């Protein structure tokens, strides 16, 4: 038994998947198809940068999806590994869209167009430089929830990501986050301000939810080939209507990644394959359970290793 993981925002880098892009013509065709669907050259931004343009939310989200989807197709065509036979697919935030496309729920063009709209809606939900996110280190989620609740009259912050044991992300307006961080300092709790320009996965994203509800409801969702683990519930689903509803909620609901991984492991999975740029998810999984097997696939060398499994 094995499961496939798809990364979210923060895993991107200029030149990601360049060696795969240069080696397979059908990957170049896929990139061209993405450019046409988006009406701009996401290919050029991925391969050449610059970093500050790639890191803009409206470019990052479709870029990471395109790279993840392309790698998935290469694994299917170039290796004997039966990647379609995964027990579970799980994606972190926008990675859930990669999971849905690779599992056949929505097609490639629809997915990348949705992500262009999603990224813009999330970026515009709160005026630029008014919101942000802070990663809290070395603390359990219950402790962070307690701090937020006990100080609700001083500041309004929201749990956004329960990533792993000892890593929780909090969203809010910048002035509220500043008060929250000061509170953490008083308690000798470490935190890091994340390089994002909006407070994702909290109620402040409600305007984006309303936009995405209208977009998603008009798309036909097919039966997935695999069980899709929802960020919202941390539970698997293969019901298209349920998956659609949860995807709408996902914009402003916390990402329950730690619970998702725990539930997959409890179901008997001990092997995870991370498909897409970087190794962020593998790091999070290792902190949840050191005994699992982790494989990353994001370059030619990784593909060759997969052939020998």
**pLDDT tens per residue across span 288-298:** 999 999 999 99
Active centre residues (catalytic): 93, 201
pTM above 0.85, yes or no: yes
> Nearest 5°: phi and psi at 135?
-90, 130
As given in the structure block, the two tokens for residue 102 are 């690779």
Strands 131-137 and 88-91: unpaired
**Looking at residues 111-138, what average pLDDT do you find?**
95
Span 2-30, pLDDT tens digits: 999 999 998 999 999 999 999 999 999 99
- Is the pLDDT assigned to residue 136 strictly greater than 90? yes
Per-residue pLDDT at 305? 86
Average pLDDT across the chain, whole number: 96
List, for residues 174-197, the tens digit of each pLDDT value: 999 999 999 999 999 999 999 888
Phi, psi of 121 (to 5 degrees): -65, -40
Model confidence at 306, pLDDT cuts 50, 70, 90, reads confident
Is residue 166 a contact partner of residue 137, using CB atoms and an 8 Å limit? yes
pLDDT cut 90: percent of the chain above it: 96
Q: Which tokens belong to 78?
A: 């170039």
State yes or no: pLDDT of 309 exceeds 70.
Answer: no
Structure tokens at 275: 């498909």
The whole-angstrom distance between residue 140's C-alpha and the CA centroid of its chain comes to 21
> Does residue 307 register a pLDDT over 80?
no
Each residue's pLDDT tens digit, 235-263: 999 999 999 999 999 999 999 999 999 99
Give the chain as a 3 state SS string: CEEEEECCCCCCCCCCCHHHHHHCHHHHHHHHHHHHHHCCCHHHHHHHCCHHHHCCHHHHHHHHHHHHHHHHHHHHHHCCCCHHHCCEEEECCCHHHHHHHHCCCCCHHHHHHHHHHHHHHHHHCCCCCCEEEEEEECCCHHHHHHHHHHCCCCCCEEEEEEEECCEEEEEEEHHHHHHHHHHHHHCCCEEEECCCCCCCCCHHHHHHHHHHHHHHHCCCCCCCCCEEECCCCCCEECCHHHHHHHHHHCCCCCECHHHHHHHHHHCCCCEEEEECCCCHHHHHHHHHCCCCEEEEECCHHHHHHHHCC
Query: Over the stretch 30-87, which tens digit does the pLDDT of each residue have?
Result: 999 999 999 999 999 999 999 999 999 999 999 999 999 999 999 999 999 999 999 9
Whether the CA torsion 129, 171, 167, 164 is positive or negative: it is: negative
Looking at the DSSP bridge assignments, the partners of residue 173 are 131
Distance from C-alpha of 158 to C-alpha of 254, rounded to nearest angstrom? 9
């Amino acid at each position: 038994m094995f499961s496939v993981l798809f990364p979210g925002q923060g895993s991107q880098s200029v030149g990601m998947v360049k060696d795969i892009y240069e080696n397979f013509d059908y990957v170049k065709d896929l990139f061209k198809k993405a450019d046409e669907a988006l009406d701009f050259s996401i290919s050029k931004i991925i391969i050449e940068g610059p970093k500050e343009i790639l890191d803009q939310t409206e470019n990052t989200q479709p870029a990471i999806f395109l790279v993840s989807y392309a790698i998935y197709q290469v694994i299917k065509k170039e290796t004997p590994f039966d990647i379609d036979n995964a027990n579970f697919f799980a994606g972190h935030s926008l990675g859930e869209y990669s999971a849905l496309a690779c599992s056949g729920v929505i097609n490639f063009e629809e997915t990348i167009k949705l992500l262009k709209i999603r990224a813009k809606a999330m970026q515009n939900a709160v005026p630029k430089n008014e919101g942000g996110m802070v990663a809290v280190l070395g603390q359990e989620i219950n402790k962070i929830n307690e701090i937020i609740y006990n100080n609700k009259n001083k500041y309004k912050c929201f749990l956004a990501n329960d990533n792993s044991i000892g890593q929780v992300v909090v969203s809010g307006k910048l002035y509220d986050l500043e008060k929250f961080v000061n509170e953490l300092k008083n308690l000798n709790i470490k935190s890091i301000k994340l390089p994002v320009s909006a407070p994702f996965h909290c109620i402040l994203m409600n305007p984006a939810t309303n936009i995405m509800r209208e977009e998603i409801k008009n798309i036909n969702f097919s039966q997935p080939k695999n069980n899709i683990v929802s960020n919202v519930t941390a539970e698997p689903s293969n019901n298209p209507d349920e998956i659609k509803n949860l995807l709408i909620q996902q914009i402003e609901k916390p990402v329950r990644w730690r619970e998702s991984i725990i539930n997959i492991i409890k179901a008997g999975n001990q092997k995870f394959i991370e498909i897409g740029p970087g190794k962020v998810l593998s790091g999070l999984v290792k902190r949840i359970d050191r005994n699992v097997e982790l494989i990353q696939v994001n370059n030619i060398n990784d593909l060759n290793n997969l052939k020998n499994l």
